[in-house]
Amino acid sequence: MLVGVGSVALFAPGCGGSEGTDATSSGGVSSDAGSGSSSGSGAASSTGGTGGGGASGGSSSDGGSLGFGGDGGQGSAATLREAAALAGKYVGTALDIVAHRNDATYAEILAQEFDEVTPENAMKWEPLAPTADTYDWEDADESADVAEANDQSIKGHTLVWHLQHPTWLSASMTPEELRLAMQSHIETTMGRYRGRVRAWDVVNEAVDVASASGYTESIFYEVLGPDYIADAFRWAREADPEALLFYNEVGIERIGAKSNFTYEMISALLEDGVPIDGIGFQSHISIHRYPSLGNLRSNIRRFADLGLVVSLSEIDARTLLLPGDRDLRWRVQRVAMQQLTSACALEPACEGVTFWGFTDNYSWINDDGDPDDALLFDRSYQKKPAYQGALDGFLGRPPALGENALENGDFSAGLDGWEGLDADLALSGEAGCASARAGTTAGMVQTDLAAALAEGAHAFAAEVRVDGSEEAVVDAILVVELEDGTSEELNIASVPAEPGAWVELSGYFGLGFESPLTSAELQIRGPAADVELCLRGVGMRPLSPE
C-alpha cells in the first residue's frame, strides 16, 4: 500500500506476509519469489569471477555474508557481448520478431549487444500451432535465421506452459489424447530446429506454491498429474539428444518457499533419471526489493550441486514500485542489474543471462498494466544506468557497500543498540536471542535509524536461527514513520529457517522518499510465539555502483 498520494510517498509496498513480495512475471506481486559449457556462441565453460564471499569494506561478522566477491573489475568492454565473453558467459535477449522486422535500430542493437536470443513468443505452442493439424513456422524460422545471421545462439522457449498453449488443447481431452498432443508437439518442434537451437525451456512455470498441490493447476496438471513434467523432458531428450533441456521458473531467485519447492521437485525428478540439464531463474524483479548477491549465489549453487547449469533467463527490473524521481529509480535499477550479472559472473554454474527485452520501448510490461522502464535502453535507445550496471557486473565489479547503518551489528558490544520487541532479549555468544516472544511480530529491534537511511539502494544481511519444533519464516522488516504520522512496513528480507541451523537472512531494497523520515527501525520477527529467535552478524549498508 503506497503512502497516501500527494503526501510523503516514501517507498513501495514490500508488504508483510510471511515472505514479503517480489514482482512476478504476471506483473503483480506475489509471495517470494550455474557454468558448465554451453554450445552458445558466447558461452563457454566459465571460471566465473574470482569467487565471492566476504563483503568488500566489511568484516565477516557484520553482514559480510553479502558476498561481494569478484576481482574488483578487470578489463573493459564496449558492449555487453564483450563483457559477458570476458566472464565466459553469454548475454541474451528475448527477440521480438515483429520489432526486429519493423525497427532497424532495434535490429542493430540486438546484433551488437547480445550473443544469444530467446524468441519471445514465436516458438510457443499457440503461435506455432493455432490449429490441431497445422503449424505456422514463419516467425520461428525468421527468429532462427536472425540469430544465425548475427552469430547468436538460440534458446527455444517454451514447449509446455499453462499460458499461450493452443485453444484446441482442452481439459476435456483424455490423458492419452493430451499426452499424444504434447509428445507430437515436442517431437515436431524440436525436430525442426535440431542442431540450430542449443537449449529449450521444456517446461515453464509448473510450480505455484499458492495452490493446494504446489503445482500450477494447468490443464496438463489437471489431466495428467505432475508426471507430465517428466514425460515432457523424456520426449524432449529423444527429440534432440544434443539440446540442453531447461526447467524455467518465475520467482525462484531468492531462497524461499517457491524456490525450495522447485528445488525438491527437480531433485526428485533427477533422482528418477529424468533428463533435466538446466534451470532458468526468470528474474523478473522489482528494485524495491530483490535477492541479495549472497542469497542469489547460494541459490544458484544449490541447484548447481544437483548437476544443473543455471541461467538468469528473463531479467527485467521494474522501477515504479519505488516512488521518487526517475533519476533515483534508474540509479537503484543500475545497482540491481549489477547485482544480477555479478551473481552469474561469479558463479561457475551460471551459463549466462538473458534480458527479457533490452529497450523500454518493447517490453511485455508495457502491455501488462503500468508501463514501466524495466530494461537497459530507454525508449529512444539511449543506454540507461542499468546498462552500465549490467556491464560492470559482468566485469567483476559488484556494487560497493557503504558503512553499516546499524550499531553493534556483530553484538561485540553486548546488546548495545538492540532491544527486545515484545520479548526478552539476552546475549548468547556473538548473537542476540529473543525469548518469551509475544507473537509473530515479536523479536528484536534496532531503533533510531532515520538519520542513517539515505534514499537509494541498500543491502541487508544477517544470520538467524530459530529454536522450536518446525520450520519458521523469519522476516526483516523496516518500519518507518513519516512527517504526516503515516507509518510503512517494508519486508526487506525473509527466509524459512530450519530449527537449530543458522541461515542467511538477506536482501536488497530500494528506498525513495520525498521528505525526511521522522523515525525508522529495523525489526527481526516472524516465527510463532513459542519459538526462540537468535540473530547475529547484522549489516544494513547503502549500495553504490562503484
Shortest distance in whole angstroms from residue 446 CB to ligand G3I: 38
504 is annotated as an active-site residue: no
Shortest distance in whole angstroms from residue 202 CB to ligand G3I: 13
Closer residue to ligand G3I in complex, CB, 159/293 = 159
Contacts of the segment 173-179: beta carbons below 8 A, 24+ positions apart: 173/219, 173/223, 174/223, 175/223, 175/224, 178/219, 178/220, 178/223, 178/224, 178/228, 179/224, 179/228, 179/231
314 binds ligand G3I (CB under 6 A): yes
**What pairs with residue 317 in β-bridges?**
285
Distance CA 360, CA 379 (A): 5
Closer residue to ligand G3I in complex, CB, 376/480 = 376
Shortest distance in whole angstroms from residue 284 CB to ligand G3I: 7
314 is annotated as an active-site residue: yes
For the window 228-267, what string marks contact with ligand G3I as x by the rule CB under 6 A?
----------------------x-----------------
Number of residues counted as binding ligand G3I (CB under 6 A): 10
Distance CA 274, CA 233 (A): 7
The one catalytic residue in 113, 116, 120, 314 is 314
Neighbours of 439 (CB within 10 A): 13
Closer residue to ligand G3I in complex, CB, 218/282 = 282
164 binds ligand G3I (CB under 6 A): yes
45 binds ligand G3I (CB under 6 A): no
Backbone angles phi, psi at 225, to 5 degrees: 75, 180
Closer residue to ligand G3I in complex, CB, 47/164 = 164
Q: What ranges in 205-325 are assigned the alpha helix state H? A: 219-224, 227-239, 257-271, 293-304
Closer residue to ligand G3I in complex, CB, 314/463 = 314
**What pairs with residue 475 in β-bridges?**
494, 525
Among 93, 282, 494, 523, binds ligand G3I (CB under 6 A): 282
73, amino acid identity: G
Among 38, 41, 46, 121, binds ligand G3I (CB under 6 A): 121
- Residue numbers 425-464 binding ligand G3I by CB under 6 A: none
Using an 8 Å Cβ cutoff, are 479 and 489 in contact?
yes
Rg of the chain in Å (alpha carbons): 23
200 binds ligand G3I (CB under 6 A): no
Cis peptide before 158 (omega within 30 of 0): yes
Q: Which three cell numbers mark 526?
A: 516472524
Shortest distance in whole angstroms from residue 182 CB to ligand G3I: 18
Q: Half-sphere exposure of residue 507, counting CA atoms within 13 Å on the CB side?
A: 31
Closer residue to ligand G3I in complex, CB, 120/410 = 120
Closer residue to ligand G3I in complex, CB, 90/362 = 362
- Residue numbers 386-405 binding ligand G3I by CB under 6 A: none
512 alpha-carbon distance from chain centroid: 21
Shortest distance in whole angstroms from residue 120 CB to ligand G3I: 5
CA distances from 505 to 12, 95, 246, 433, 450 (A): 21, 36, 28, 15, 22
Using an 8 Å Cβ cutoff, are 403 and 351 in contact?
no
Shortest distance in whole angstroms from residue 157 CB to ligand G3I: 6
Distance CA 134, CA 49 (A): 47
Nearest to 379 by CA among 59, 1, 106: 106
Shortest distance in whole angstroms from residue 121 CB to ligand G3I: 4
Shortest distance in whole angstroms from residue 72 CB to ligand G3I: 34
- The beta strand positions in 27-145, using DSSP E, are 29-30, 90-95, 116-119
361 binds ligand G3I (CB under 6 A): no
Among 3, 11, 20, 25, binds ligand G3I (CB under 6 A): 25
Closer residue to ligand G3I in complex, CB, 50/164 = 164
298 binds ligand G3I (CB under 6 A): no
Among 19, 32, 120, 253, binds ligand G3I (CB under 6 A): 120
Q: Which three cell numbers mark 518?
A: 521522522
Distance CA 253, CA 255 (A): 7
Shortest distance in whole angstroms from residue 155 CB to ligand G3I: 12
Question: Residue 61 in 3-state DSSP?
Answer: coil
- Residue numbers 487-516 binding ligand G3I by CB under 6 A: none
364 binds ligand G3I (CB under 6 A): yes
115 binds ligand G3I (CB under 6 A): no
Neighbours of 145 (CB within 10 A): 12
The one catalytic residue in 205, 249, 347, 351 is 205
| DSSP-assigned letter for residue 200 | E
Closer residue to ligand G3I in complex, CB, 215/509 = 215
163 binds ligand G3I (CB under 6 A): yes
Closer residue to ligand G3I in complex, CB, 163/528 = 163
Question: Residue 90 in 3-state DSSP?
Answer: strand
Shortest distance in whole angstroms from residue 432 CB to ligand G3I: 41
Q: Which residues bind ligand G3I (CB under 6 A)?
A: 25, 120-121, 163-164, 204, 250, 282, 314, 364
Catalytic residues: 205, 314
